[in-house]
Structure 1
Amino acid sequence: MDYRYLGNSGLKISEITYGNWLTHGSQVENDTARQCVAAALESGITTFDTADAYANTAAETVLGEALASERRESLEIFTKVYWPTGPKGANDSGLSRKHILESINGSLSRLGTDYVDLYQAHRYDHETPLEETMQAFADVVRQGKALYIGVSEWDAEQLRRGSALAKDLGISLISNQPQYSMLWRVIEDEVVPASRELGISQIVWSPVAQGILTGKYLPGQPLPEGSRASDEKGGADAVKRFLRDDVLTAVQDLKPIADEQGLTLAQLAIAWVLANDDVASAIIGASRPEQVRDNVKAAGVKLDADTLARIDETLGSIPETDPRKTESPETRPS
């Protein structure tokens, strides 16, 4: 496993992060979830990402239990705040001071730790003054409950404003967690240049496009049984934007490139995002431990310029590149 610095900080994280969105506490049983975490640890992964909203807090509990016997100083544990949790009352979502300070306490309790390495704003809150949000994050850092602050799916202007306020408050905003893959490149034109300017790294989620880039979905064929696209607990919603025959055909056309590199399609997809120097880590999820062991083999793979160019040529105009697709809800979800 290789390690990369996160933003302009001195914190190093594994270039593969294990994440438990849509799995722990919902799609997979707890025993299997613990086996997946064990496989991640055995594979050299030290960085783990979750959020209070995943499975309405259950995912944090499962991850905390799975990591309980590990040396805390050898791990980087990330969580997030914004989406509704608990009974979903008026103040159970967003980035108000009340919600942030109450949520960090709940997350630490569920994770079984005194601090998280990175506490992230899961989206931008248009209903709360950014000054209030960043002051609350600064207090969380000063209380020793988080070491660093990050965000997820903020656009370039939001990153600039948040970074400036963080600097004024004496804390470090060091990361953004966007969706990024061969098929979803909306951060490239605006978010990445702004982040580079600000010393912010990308920790990218869905590098295999919710499983589309594994090649298991075939054009004109029924959805595989047990796949995320057929899951009614939320997985299907995340996948459906890619379930077009032109997309699925282009993905199949990538297979000769993967074969030449001695990689699976999923490994090629993860190696592709890691070829971007602005990416500190790619988040992988898993419903089985063997998926972790397979996908982690993308760590350390170096794709040359010719291979990257062939991937772009094969996909053509298929990837989504519109920077306006980076957006947060206009009102707090409930």
Structure 2
Amino acid sequence: MERRRVGRSGLRVSCLGLGTMTWGRDTDEVDAGEQLRDFLDAGGTFIDTAAAYGAGEAERVIGALLEGKVARDDVVLCTKGGGRGDASRGSLLADLDASLARLGTDHVDLFVAAAPDPGTPLEETVSALRHAVASGRARYVGLSNHPGWATARAASLLEPDGVGLTAVEVEYSLLQRGIEREVVPAAEALGVGVLAWSPLGRGVLTGKYRRSVPADSRAASPHLAGFVEPYLDAPSSAVVAAVATAAEGLGRTPTEVALAWLLAQGVVASAIVGARTPRQLATSLAAADLELPAEVHAALDDVSAVDAGYPERW
């Protein structure tokens, strides 16, 4: 599997990342272990988690699976703090310390502030990220789900110390291209890498919802139905149909086509796939070697194009 630099930093990650949001809740330790083995066997290195995933249970599962079985240098661990909407210095550093204990390591490769916190000045959030690097608990730092202006401001605050803002972890797929308005231009100008979460449009781009809602799907889950529902609309259906048509013509799956489109975006360092089962992960891993024909890529660009107005388009 291809390894990519995250922005202009020295951090390198596999082009597909292993998401763990469901681990310890919808995905038990046995299936998680099989996913991890398959991912590493395919050349994957980048494992993404968060203190908030399963109230810490996902990190505990990762720690147990890695302990004594996988060399620490063979994986790139990313975790996120502040997922409860509190990005204060105390909350972020407390989350990081708890994450390290559950993961069974003295450092993560990337520590990310999970979400904007209107109650905390960005300067304070950035000071926690700076301290995470200075104290050796994190090698690199980033932001998740922040707008373009915050990305640029955080990068400017971290630059004088030589810490730098390495990555932004944001939702990006054929069904959600909003970051192309301001976050992507900011990231490209500042040398920040994009880590794309939900690259399959919260599972909708797999095509599983084209005719009905499967009983064992996220859209049928009491705690995840609201997460999927925004993309079960008519505009999304048109994009899903285009992906399915392209997949049929190429002899590949819709999952592979959707991921291949995203991986062709130059700013994307890794697409984080959060599979519930080993079988779902296997379908995603098959996308690593797919390069879409130019005409297919252009057609998908057109059908999913994001609306841009003032001042992005002047």
- Shift, 1:301, TM fit: 2.0
3-state SS, counterpart of residue 209 of structure 1: coil
Cα distance per residue 1:191-210 (max 9 Å; x no partner) = 10111011101100111111
How many residues align? The count is 309
- Shift, 1:252, TM fit: 2.6
Aligned to 2:284: 295
Note if 1:179 corresponds to 2:171: yes
* Segment drifting more, 155-164 vs 169-178: 169-178
3-state SS, counterpart of residue 180 of structure 2: coil
Cα distance per residue 1:68-96 (max 9 Å; x no partner) = 21000111000001123xxxxxxxx5121
Aligned to 2:13: 13
* Segment drifting more, 281-290 vs 270-279: 281-290
Distance 1:222-1:261 versus aligned 2 partners, 3 A rule: closer
Cα distance in 2 between the residues matched to 1:254 and 1:134: 39
Contact 2:81 2:87 in 1 (8 A): yes
Gaps of 5+ in 1: 85-92, 325-334
Cα distance per residue 1:151-175 (max 9 Å; x no partner) = 1111111011100111123312110
Cα distance in 1 between the residues matched to 2:204 and 2:26: 18
Q: How does 1:92-171 map to 2 (within 5 A)?
A: 94-171=86-163
Distance 1:112-1:253 versus aligned 2 partners, 3 A rule: same
Note if 1:272 corresponds to 2:264: no
Q: Which amino acid aligns with 1:8?
A: R
Cα distance per residue 1:113-164 (max 9 Å; x no partner) = 1100000010122211222221221111111100000111111110111001
Note if 1:189 corresponds to 2:181: yes
- Shift, 1:319, TM fit: 5.6
Q: How does 1:42-61 map to 2 (within 5 A)?
A: 42-61=41-60
Cα distance in 1 between the residues matched to 2:115 and 2:122: 12
Contact 2:239 2:300 in 1 (8 A): no
Gaps of 5+ in 2: none
Note if 1:38 corresponds to 2:27: no
Q: Which has the higher contact order (CA 8 A, sep 6+)?
A: 1
Cα distance in 2 between the residues matched to 1:187 and 1:253: 21
- Shift, 1:310, TM fit: 1.7
Cα distance in 2 between the residues matched to 1:209 and 1:253: 14
Structure 2 residue corresponding to 1:229, chosen from 219, 226, 229:
219
Cα distance in 2 between the residues matched to 1:259 and 1:98: 51
Root mean square deviation, CA, Å: 1.8
3-state SS, counterpart of residue 208 of structure 2: coil
Contact 1:120 1:152 in 2 (8 A): yes
Give me the identity figure in percent: 36
Aligned to 1:328: none
3-state SS, counterpart of residue 80 of structure 1: strand
- Shift, 1:308, TM fit: 1.0
- Shift, 1:299, TM fit: 1.0
Cα distance per residue 1:180-226 (max 9 Å; x no partner) = 111110011211011101110110011111111111112xx431110
- Shift, 1:263, TM fit: 1.6
Q: Which amino acid aligns with 1:165?
A: L
TM-score (norm 2): 0.94
